[in-house]
Homo-oligomer: A and B are copies of this chain.
Amino acid sequence: MLHIEPAFLQYPDWKGHSFLREEVSKFLSDYCRSPKPLKPENVVVMNGCGSLFSALAATLCDPEDAILIPSPFYGVITEDVSLYSSVKLYHVPLYSQVVRSDVRPFQLTVEKLENSLKEAKKEGLNIKALILLNPHNPLGEVYSSEELISFLQFAKMHKLHVIVDEIYMLSVFNEADTFRSVLSLDGLPDPQRTHVMWGVSKDFAMAGMRVGMVYSENRDLVQALDQLGCFHGVPGPTQYLMAQLLRDRDWLNSEFLPENRHRLREAHSFMIEELKKLDIPFLHRSAGFFIWADLSKYLKEKTFAEELSLWRCFLKHKVLLSCGQAFSCVSPGWFRIIFTDRLHKLQLEFGIIEMHCNFCYLKLASHCYLLLLLQKKKKKKCS
């Protein structure tokens, strides 16, 4: 028989029960390597980071205001900020092409942020904030301290709030790729406008538990989120379970996190080897559950219509990849391949991808007259 404390059956503090906010502040202090202990009163817990995006958009913006976000980005955020609050995202386009040897593909720079901010203003948009995903979804990359600070200083200069989504912070599986939380920085450029999100959906593989949290020193923001909290409440017993989980450092540090990182590393290795075999270019990163891969060579034309057609083809074979359009990527042909699955499933999936890609490649080659005959022979497989 499950016993539930009567207190958990009562209306809670809408920011989260104090016992949970205390545990969250200790947890984030440790895992974000904060130079000073973080404070429970700066924590707001809601039912997932989608709810937090919705509530942050509603509190930081007026309807039709906009928020800068480098693209590609986790596309669901578009609905998170717009469904209730009519807030727009203004994309800072990052390109796959590398123009200089010291620049990474899809690299975010302050220059790009500045340019997009100017463009947005020209279009009459009121930009209120910047969203940073770190580690990044779908790119899988983590920002260096220098990069982070430069982005935060850009935001400070333009009085923009910064929402830093660190939901993959414990899923950096190669320690050479050092993750630095914004909360680890010695003195934030603009602490009143810097808000850090984390949740249990990804790092603890608990999306169904609906628990996300934000850390902010801005009292007005915390108070406003408290008001909206009545729509995003987490059940008392779930809050209790979460506090227990966050407190269980022995298990987290000696069992769960090392094993999780090990599995991520293994699955990632398998995946990149397969991509190499197929000669598919990809970003070699060490965070998140996905690889950002360039399948554009399988497109008949470099268009988003063709990208969608390729996506549908995978889906028909029961392989669900996310295409670049879903992340507002500006270059067609990029796909997010999720590798966090059992090995035998990945093998099966990759078998299908390979078969399909080879077939696509033949379709591409079929534009050459010499291969026309071959294409006809294979037609029966096409259906």
Q: What 1/0 flags go to A186-222 for Cβ under 8 Å of B?
A: 0000000000000000000111111100000000000
Q: Is A83 an interface residue (CB 8 A)?
A: yes
Cβ–Cβ contact B84 & A209, under 8 A: no
Instruction: Report which of B47, B79, B235 forms a contact with A209, defined as CB distance below 8 A.
Output: B235
- A361 contacts the other chain (Cβ, under 8 Å)? no
* CA distance in complex: A84, B51 (Å): 12
User: A207 to B9, Cβ gap below 8 A?
Assistant: yes
Cβ contact within 8 Å between A9 and B208: yes
* CB atoms of B210 and A233 under 8 A apart: yes
Contacts of A171 in B (CB 8 A): none
Interchain CA distance A152-B284 in the complex, whole Å: 62
CA distance A124 to B267 in the complex (A): 61
A2 at the interface (CB under 8 A from B): yes
Please give, as numbers and ranges, the residues of chain B lying within 8 Å of A235 by CB-CB distance.
47, 208-211, 234-235, 238
A372 within 8 A of B: no
Whether A174 sits at the interface, judged by CB under 8 Å, is no
From 216 to 231 in chain A, residues with beta carbon under 8 angstroms from any chain B beta carbon are 227-228, 230-231
- Asked if residues A84 and B231 are in contact (CB atoms below 8 Å), the reply is yes
* CB pair A51 B210 closer than 8 Å: no
- A47 near B232 with CB under 8 A, answer yes
- Closest CB-CB distance, A7 to chain B, in whole Å? 8
Known: A47-B47, A63-B63. A9 touches B209 (CB 8 A): yes
Whether A72 sits at the interface, judged by CB under 8 Å, is no
Of A48, A83, A208, A234, most B-chain CB atoms within 10 Å: A208
The residue on B at minimum CB distance from A12 is: B208
Q: In this assembly, does A101 line the interface, its C-beta being within 8 Å of a C-beta of chain B? A: no
User: What copy number does this chain have within its complex?
Assistant: 2
Q: How far is the CA of A7 from the CA of B209 in the complex (A)?
A: 11
Q: Which residue of B lies closest to A204 (CB)?
A: B9
Contact B232 A231 (CB under 8 A): yes
Task: Note all chain B residues with C-beta closer than 8 A to A54.
Answer: 84, 231
The residue that A208 contacts in the complex, of B10, B50, B58, with Cβ under 8 A, is: B10
Q: Is A11 engaged at the interface, CB distance under 8 Å to the other chain?
A: yes
Chain B residues closer than 8 Å to A241, beta-carbon distance: 2, 237
Q: Judge if A140 is at the interface, Cβ distance under 8 Å.
A: no
A275 to chain B: closest CB distance in Å? 27
A93 at the interface (CB under 8 A from B): no
Q: Mark A54-85, 1 if CB is under 8 A from B, else 0.
A: 10001000010000000000001001100111
Question: Interface on A for B, CB 8 Å cutoff?
Answer: 2, 7-12, 47-48, 50-51, 54, 58, 63, 76, 79-80, 83-85, 205-211, 227-228, 230-238, 241
Of the A-B pairs whose beta carbons lie under 8 Å apart in the complex, a sample of 28, sorted by A's number, is A7-B208, A8-B208, A9-B205, A9-B206, A9-B208, A10-B207, A10-B208, A11-B207, A47-B210, A47-B234, A47-B235, A48-B230, A48-B233, A50-B230, A51-B230, A51-B231, A51-B232, A58-B83, A58-B84, A76-B230, A79-B227, A80-B230, A209-B235, A209-B236, A210-B235, A211-B235, A231-B232, A235-B238
